[in-house]
Chain A
Amino acid sequence: MSDAPQFEAFLRQHQNLVFSTAMRLLANRAEAEDVTQEVFLKAYARFGELETSPTAAGWLRTVARNLSLNHLTRYRSRWTFFSEILAGRGEEEGEGTVDFAAPENTEEQLASTDRRAFVEQALEKLPAAQRVPLVLYHLEDQSYEAIAAQLGVSLGKVKTDIFRGREALRKKLAAVKETELGIVA
C-alpha cells in the first residue's frame, strides 16, 4: 500500500458521504458499514484515477447507491414481503388528516439540529418500500422512471410509495410540532 497516506486522507474526506448514502437507503448501520467498506475497496482499486478526479465524490456516491440497491435486491423477496405488510398496517391505522403548518412556522417551532435529527430518525423508520424511492427521488435526484427501472417496479408503484413516504414524514413532523406546542403551553 504505497499510497496509503493519500488514500487514508481520501477515505476520511469522503467516508461520511458514502456512509450517509448507504445508511439512508438501507436504514441499517451494520449493512451500511459493509457497503461503505465495499465502496472504498473498489475506490482503492481505481485510486490512480480517482485521486485527482473532480468527480470522485459523484463516483463514490453512485457506487454506494448501486451497491446499496444490490444489497436490497439480494434480499428482495423478504424486503418486499415485510415492507408491504408494514405499509398495509400503516394504512389500516389510518391516522386522520393532520393539517401541517406552513414550513416557515414549523421551522420556528423546532431548533434546526433537533429537527434534522428527528427527520433523520423519521426517515429511518419508514418502511423500505417508501424510504428507498423517497431517498432516491429527493436525495439522489433520480427521476420516477429511473427509480422504477432500478427497483424493477412499476412507475405507478414508485409514485404511490413516494407519496405515502412524504405523507408519513409530514404526519411525523406535524406530531412533533403538536408536542412542542403542548410543552410550550
Chain B
Amino acid sequence: MNPNPENELAALVDRELKALPPLPAPSSLAPRILAAIAAHAEAPWYRRPWETWTLPLQGASLAVLLALFGTLCFGGWRFSQSEAVVATAGKASGVLSVFELMFRILGVLRDAGVQVIQHIGSGYLIGFAVMALMAYAVCLALGSACVRFAYARR
C-alpha cells in the first residue's frame, strides 16, 4: 500500500531523470561552432555588435551620435526662426483653410445624412442592412466558388 502515490511518483521520476547522463553532442557540432566563430571574428568591426567594439570606438561613435543629434536640434530651431519659414507658414495657413472648409462641408453633409435617416424610419434601415449583408454573402459565396474552381484538381 503506497501511502502517498503522488510523492512516490515524483521521487521516482526525479531519480530517473537525474540519473540521465548528458547527451553526447554530435561530432559535427564543435567544428560547426568553431567555423561560425571564425566567420564572426573575420567580419569587419563595423559589422559586429556595438558591445564588441573597442572602448575608443564606442566613445567616438557616441560622440558622433551626440554631435549629430545636437546639430539636428540646433539646426531645426534656427530654421524655424528664419524669415523664409515664417513667410511659408503664412502661405501654408491659406492652404490649410481649404481643409477647414472641406471639414465644414463634410460636417453639413453628415448632419443632413442624420436628418434623412431620422425621417425614413428604422424599417428601411433594417432593409438596407439586410440587403447589404446579402450582397456580402453573395460576394463571399461567388469568391469561394471561383477559388474552388480555380484550384480544383483536374
Residues of A within 8 A of B (CB): 1, 4, 7-8, 11-12, 15-20, 23-24, 29, 33, 36-37, 40-41, 44-45, 100, 103, 112, 116, 119-120, 123, 134-135, 138-139, 163, 165-167, 169-170, 173
Contacts and interface: CB of A to CB of B under 8 A. Distances in A.
Contact of B52 (A23, A33, A45): A45
A52 to B, nearest CB: 19
B62 to A, nearest CB: 20
Given A116-B21, A169-B16, A41 B9 contact: no
Interface in B19-70: 19-26, 29-30, 32-34, 36-38, 40-41, 49, 51-52
Contacts of A20: 22-23
B26 A167 contact: no
Contacts of B26: 19, 29, 33
B6 interface: yes
Contact of B13 (A17, A40, A170): A170
Interface of B: 6, 9-10, 12-26, 29-30, 32-34, 36-38, 40-41, 49, 51-52
B38 A1 contact: yes
A147 to B, nearest CB: 14
B41 A1 contact: yes
Contacts of A119: 16-17, 19-20
Given A116-B20, A166-B10, A167-B9, A103 B15 contact: yes
Contacts of B15: 103
